[in-house]
Chain A
């Protein structure tokens, strides 16, 4: 039987490197996907999620088990992602579309050939989604990504964002409303 997160954390806190590596293996994919949802860039998502693991490793002794490791770790990750977005806003580089397309591997689904018109439309839509997500306030964007992209429960999101469940619901509703308005022409 696989040990739970708590047991691995206890062992890692006692200096068991293998236990921490097991935690990494267990959470790396979810961590990466959350970081990707925020950054929309493969390299940045890798760096951000790895940075979160490093931060967790160096601060593991301070983890007191009041929340679950899952909540504690993803809180570190989300904060890093929000910092990354703030830094990116100060120094904008690539457009959403270029960044995204250049790092995408071919999807498992076979791609249907697109007509030039469809390609233009898809590009516009993709760009508009990126812009719409960027335009959301940080907490709305966080609530939306964690719900819509990651499927976390309202309770989990509230714990992660250290706020009330009612507040998360409000953030989520406002985010959906804003996105709906931004993407109305594509509906």
Chain B
């Protein structure tokens, strides 16, 4: 392990260019100026050496076998097949739902609904009810009407009582 005191101390303003020089990304005048500087600066020279030692160590190479690459391609082909299949379904569906077809389908649905409500009342009513229930269903509106007429009778009685009361007052 290196002594901490031996850590290279480059010129701060040149550090970025030293990194670029290490990677071969410094060209022209800048490169020449830095090269000239390096000839007389131990700190920058050591820094450059340290980069050359340290940075390649950060790379961890992987060397997959031929079988891996073969499997890789085969697996990817299957995945692409699956995606293509999904895409073609989507295309077929989107082809069905063309811009003109949506209002047309909606219109047809509304017409169907209207026809069903108009002519289909009898169809939707169940004929499987027992005879008693059917009779009850028929009698119910009549019974409701009877209640109504009874209420009307009470009102008539009230009117009669009222008119009698008025006659009494007049007398």
Q: Which residues of A contact B (CB under 8 A)?
A: 17, 20-21, 24-25, 28-29, 32-33, 36-37, 40, 42, 45-46, 50, 53-54, 57-58, 100, 103-105, 107-108, 125-126, 129, 132-133, 147-149, 153-154, 169-170, 172-173, 176-177, 179-180, 183-187
Contacts and interface: CB of A to CB of B under 8 A. Distances in A.
Contacts of B64: 32, 42, 105
Interface string B17-39: 00110010100000000000000
Contact of A129 (B2, B57, B77): B57
B76 interface: yes
> Majority SS of interface residues in chain A?
helix
B4 interface: yes
A169 B17 CA distance: 9
Interface residues of B, number: 35
B50 A24 contact: no
A187 B60 contact: no
A11 to B, nearest CB: 15
Contact of B7 (A25, A172, A187): A187
B167 interface: no
Nearest to A104: B62
Contact of A36 (B16, B55, B62, B76): B62
Given A57-B80, A173-B19, A180-B54, A108 B73 contact: no
A40 B76 CA distance: 20
